[in-house]
Structure 1
Amino acid sequence: MSFNADSDLETRVRKTTERISENMHIVANEPSLAFYRLQEHVRKALNPMVDRRVDVNKLHTELQGRCYDMEYAIGALRSMGKAEESFKNIQDNLKNAIFLKQQLKYEESRRKKADNNSVYKRLSAHITLDLPELPELSDVVRETANRVEHMMSKATHSSSNNG
């Protein structure tokens, strides 16, 4: 009987393990459990993924702004290259103005020498006019004269250094 008891026990154990295996298979593959596992995965993975997407969008916006800045800077540099002719014209005009100013100074110094003995100068020393005082006009004239003299001295100084 012990052989029968062992085979009967073995049959019962086999049936029990098969049922447990079936139940495990059913439980593991049940849709509600699968949905629970999916929900758990989404809940864990969604927040970091959303944070990364926000960071990527922010970086994209910053990068786009920097690209626009670079395009603007490149355009400005190209337009500066086109301005070279205008700067050369300005430089030529300044040289001409300096030359004309020097000529005027020379003519003025010649006139002063010639006017020292002039009849008009002697006559003007005796004639006095009562002109109204215009302080704002004299200030403007004085300031303009100072600016012109300053510019001329700078130009003469720079041209003497260059030559």
Structure 2
Amino acid sequence: MSFNSDSELEVKVRKATERISENMHIVANEPSLAFYRLQEHVRKALNPMVDRRSDVNKLHVELQGRCYDMEYAVGALKSMNNANECFNNIGESLKNAIFLKQQLKYEESRRKKSDSNSVYKRLSAHITIDLPELPELSDVVRETANKVESMMSKATHSASS
């Protein structure tokens, strides 16, 4: 029985040593296997992660620019509220300018009417009525009155220009 128990013991010892050796091999190689798995993971995940980070940075810059644009627009809108008084002043100035232009037109039309009723024309009309028997004289007076009148209107136009 000693042979049988020795062989059983030897088998048991051999199995135990194989398991211990296998466990020692696993324990000895476990860190390198873990580092290999980490390296593999980093190699696969690093490039997409760097690309994503670059995309996020670009988006951040764009978003920051749009925020500045929004702040600028909000400031412009707030300043438009303050511009209401300026627009009212501009409207009043336009109304005044239109009124003054109408007054100038009215004054010009009055001047033209008064020019057409000038002293020389009236004088000419009186002379022709007073001297109906001298047709040559009335024509001369009329011509002279017309010449004087045209010279006066030229003088007024050159003075107003």
Counterpart in the other structure of 1:98: 98
- For residues 70 and 127 of structure 1, do their structure 2 counterparts lie closer, same or farther at Cα, with a shift above 3 Å needed? closer
Counterpart in the other structure of 2:73: 73
Counterpart in the other structure of 2:149: 124
| Residue 19 of structure 1: how far off its partner (Å) | 2.0
| Residue 104 of structure 1: how far off its partner (Å) | 2.0
Q: Which runs of 4+ in 1 moved over 4 A?
A: 126-129
Alignment of structure 1 residues 13-162 onto 2, 5 Å: 13-29=15-31, 32-119=32-119, 122=146, 123-125=148-150
Counterpart in the other structure of 2:10: 8
One-letter amino acid matched to 2:48: P
| Residue 79 of structure 1: how far off its partner (Å) | 1.7
- For residues 125 and 25 of structure 1, do their structure 2 counterparts lie closer, same or farther at Cα, with a shift above 3 Å needed? same
Moved more, 119-128 or 91-100: 119-128
> Deviation per CA, 1:68-121, whole angstroms, max 9, x where unpaired?
111111111122222221211111111111111212222222232222120367
- For residues 116 and 19 of structure 1, do their structure 2 counterparts lie closer, same or farther at Cα, with a shift above 3 Å needed? same
Unmatched tracts of structure 1, length 5 or more? 130-140, 142-163
TM-score after normalising by structure 2: 0.65
Moved more, 100-109 or 53-62: 100-109
Counterpart in the other structure of 1:135: none
> Deviation per CA, 1:18-53, whole angstroms, max 9, x where unpaired?
222222222213xx4444333323222221211111
| Residue 15 of structure 1: how far off its partner (Å) | 2.5
- CA distance in 1: counterparts of 2:93 and 2:153, whole angstroms: 41
| Residue 55 of structure 1: how far off its partner (Å) | 0.8
Moved more, 90-99 or 10-19: 10-19
| Residue 3 of structure 1: how far off its partner (Å) | 4.4
- For residues 128 and 33 of structure 1, do their structure 2 counterparts lie closer, same or farther at Cα, with a shift above 3 Å needed? closer
- For residues 59 and 126 of structure 1, do their structure 2 counterparts lie closer, same or farther at Cα, with a shift above 3 Å needed? closer
- For residues 57 and 14 of structure 1, do their structure 2 counterparts lie closer, same or farther at Cα, with a shift above 3 Å needed? same
Based on CA coordinates, which of the two structures has the bigger radius of gyration? 2
Unmatched tracts of structure 2, length 5 or more? 122-145, 155-160
